[in-house]
Structure 1
Amino acid sequence: MSNIDEEIRREVIAEVYRQVDDLDWDGMTTRARSDWYARCIDDPLIGGKLTRFIARDRVRVWVKDGPIKELPRARYGLGPYAQFAVSRYPGMEQIAHQAIGPEWLADPETVEVKPNRCLVHGPESKVLMIWGPAADLADLVWAGINTRVDGGAEPLIVVASPQGTRLSEGEMLRHRLLAKEATIDLRHITLRLARV
């Protein structure tokens, strides 16, 4: 990415995020996403700008491994692409309120990613809130186990599903049972994207 002009790189990331937001990316099938990747190569605002700096056959990979890979974190307001997000999920404070209660306060100085996590302070204790989608459950549980082994704050896993995606009762029960095996509390919440 370093050989792409910075202004062009920023313009392309902003355009990618604008388009995927208009397309309802989270609701798209794998095939529809693949079709969009193919179209973006010829799009003058994406591939047209990138091919001045990288080979045409690298455009899809650049878009997929850069802006799209960072899209979930950007929507949480985290990571290097956050400023380009057109829509955002609720912030960590709102996630804590929804998952634990309104008296819990997230500490933005403790935010880490991969998976997303931060300390959340309650009336008499604190927890390390670890959140992400159901697809990342293994990473969420693993981060919780590592927190426990490292002697950190009590871990709490929050499986955060975007509105429009639905987990079955069986899936949610399985998540809770898996977390219980690691002696970690787990909560499920639904997140609504909002335009910024």
Structure 2
Amino acid sequence: MSELPEPIREQVIIELYRQADELDWELLPVTQKKNQYRKWIEDPRVGGILKSFFDEHRMGTWIKDTPMKEYARAQEGFGSLAKYARSRFPGPSSLVERALGSDWKVIEGSVNEKPMNCLATNGSRDRYICWGRPNTFRDLVWAALNKAITMAENPLIVVTLQDGIVLSKSEKVFHQAIASHCGVDVKHIHRELQRVR
């Protein structure tokens, strides 16, 4: 397998992310994503370029495990491929302010991932905040629980919603019940992607 030259790699990632934006990639069901990988292999702007470097199997693996595995992180402004994301969510500062109020700020250097998280302060109190889509709620609870035992303030889970991702009232109540039982807080916040180019 040949190494992808950087200009080729960049060209293909830009095209993949352009199309992923148009498809609302993160909202697609698994079966549609699987079909899209096949379409990308056949697309002259993607597979047509990659075929000089990969066979079909490796091409599909590279598309799935390199750019598309990083797509959600790139939309959060995180990771080496974030510069290719055509739309991003507002950064952690905006989320912290919406969740806790304008007197709370992100502690510099505290933003992390898996799940996305940070420490916030209002000058006298510090809080751990983690966030992600509803389908990551279990991971968010676990991350918050790990901080609950070491921090004075209850950790805060922010379940992020967007157009195309909504929760019923009963699902929100369920999240609240779990959070309350675990000694953590939870908020549901709707976010909108913003064009960056």
- Give the TM-score normalised by structure 1: 0.91
Instruction: Count matched residues.
Output: 195
Match for 1:74: what amino acid? A
CA distance in 2, matches of 1:66, 1:162: 25
Q: How has the CA–CA distance of structure 1 residues 48 and 175 changed in structure 2, closer, same or farther, with 3 Å as cutoff?
A: same
* Alpha carbons 2:2, 2:53 under 8 Å: kept: no
Which position in structure 2 is the counterpart of 1:117?
Answer: 117
Structure 1 partner of 2:48: 48
Q: Any residues of structure 2 matched to 1:32-111 within 5 Å, and which?
A: 32-111=32-111
Counterpart residue type for residue 121 of structure 1: T
Aligned counterparts of 1:127 and 1:61: Cα–Cα separation in 2: 39
Segments of structure 1 that go 5 or more residues without pairing to the other structure are none
Q: Matches of 1:18 and 1:108 in 2, distance apart?
A: 31
Render the CA deviation track for 1:157-182: whole Å, top value 9, x for unaligned.
11111223110011111111112222
Indicate yes or no: 2:35 matched with 1:15.
no
RMSD: 1.9
- Normalized per residue, the structure richer in helix is 1
Residues 108, 85 of structure 1: alpha-carbon distance in 2 compared, 3 angstrom cutoff = farther
Task: Note if 1:142 corresponds to 2:121.
Answer: no
Closer/same/farther in 2, CA of residues 152 and 47 from structure 1, 3 Å limit: farther
In structure 2, what is the equivalent of residue 127 of structure 1?
127
* 8 Å contact kept, 1:130–1:156: yes
What code does the residue aligned with 2:87 have? Answer: S
* CA–CA distance in structure 2, aligned partners of residues 33 and 133 of structure 1: 18
* 1:190–1:65 distance in 2 versus 1, CA, 3 Å: same
- Partners of 1:168 and 1:35 lie apart in 2 by 29
Q: What percentage of aligned pairs have identical amino acids?
A: 38
Separation in 1, partners of 2:61, 2:122: 43
TM-score (norm 2): 0.91
Amino acid corresponding to residue 139 of structure 1 in structure 2 = D
Give the aligned partner of residue 159 of structure 1. Answer: 159
Residue 70 of structure 2 aligns to a residue whose secondary structure is helix
Q: Which amino acid aligns with 1:34?
A: K
Kindly report structure 1 stretches of 4+ aligned residues shifted beyond 6 Å.
none
